[in-house]
Amino acid sequence: MLTRAGFRGLGDSTSPRGATVLELLFDIVYVFALARLAGRIGDDLTIVRHTLLSESGQTLLIFTAMWMIWSLNAMMASTFDPGRTDLQVLLLTTMFGTLILAVSLPQAFGERGVIFSITYVVLQVGRPLYLTVALRGHPMQRGPARVLTWHLVSGVLWIAGGASGGLGRGVFWTIALSIEVLGAATNWPTPIRANRGGGVRIAFGHLAERYNQIFMIALAEVVLEAGAAVSFPGLSTERTIVLVAAFLAVVAFWRIYFYHIGPIRAASASSAGEELQLSQWASFSLLLIVAGIICTAVGFGQVIEEPDPPIDWALLVVIFGGPALFLIGRNYLEPTTRAAGGRCRALILGVVALAVAAPPMMFLRPVAAVVSAALILTGIAIYDGLLHPRGSDANPAL
Tell me if 242 is assigned to some domain: yes
Question: What pLDDT is attached to residue 398?
Answer: 56
**332-344: average pLDDT:** 60
Q: Is the pLDDT of residue 103 over 90?
A: yes
- Considering the domain architecture, whether residues 128 and 215 belong to the same structural domain is answered as no
- Considering the domain architecture, whether residues 226 and 158 belong to the same structural domain is answered as no
Asked if 207 and 279 touch (Cβ cutoff 8 Å), the reply is: yes
Would residue 247 be called left, alpha or beta, if left means φ above 0 and alpha means ψ between -120 and 50 degrees? alpha
- Considering the domain architecture, whether residues 166 and 225 belong to the same structural domain is answered as no
- Considering the domain architecture, whether residues 104 and 219 belong to the same structural domain is answered as no
Model-level pTM? 0.88
Question: What pLDDT is attached to residue 265?
Answer: 52
Name the domain boundary from 121, 153, 185: 185
Q: What is the pLDDT of residues 243-302, one digit of tens each?
A: 999 999 999 999 999 887 654 554 444 444 444 444 457 889 999 999 999 999 999 999
Cα separation, 13 vs 6, in Å, equals: 16
- Count of domains for the chain: 2
Name the domain boundary from 151, 185, 219: 185
- Considering the domain architecture, whether residues 244 and 119 belong to the same structural domain is answered as no
Among candidate residues 176, 2, 194, the one with its CA nearest the CA of residue 85: 2
Q: Please confirm whether the linkage preceding 310 is cis (ω < 30° from 0).
A: yes
Tell me if 214 is assigned to some domain: yes
Tell me if 280 is assigned to some domain: yes
- Considering the domain architecture, whether residues 235 and 122 belong to the same structural domain is answered as no
Confidence of residue 49 (pLDDT cuts 50, 70, 90): low
Q: What is the pLDDT of residues 126-136, one digit of tens each?
A: 999 999 998 88
- Considering the domain architecture, whether residues 181 and 209 belong to the same structural domain is answered as no
Residue 92: what residue type? L
- Considering the domain architecture, whether residues 219 and 339 belong to the same structural domain is answered as yes
Q: Is the dihedral of CA 342, 346, 347, 349 positive or negative?
A: positive
Q: Is the pLDDT of residue 164 over 80?
A: yes
DSSP state, 49? G
Provide the domain limits for residue 231: 204-387
- Considering the domain architecture, whether residues 181 and 224 belong to the same structural domain is answered as no
Q: pLDDT exceeding 70 applies to what percent of the chain?
A: 82
**222-230: average pLDDT:** 89
List all residues 6 or more positions away from 283 whose beta carbon is below 8 Å from its beta carbon: 71, 74, 75, 184
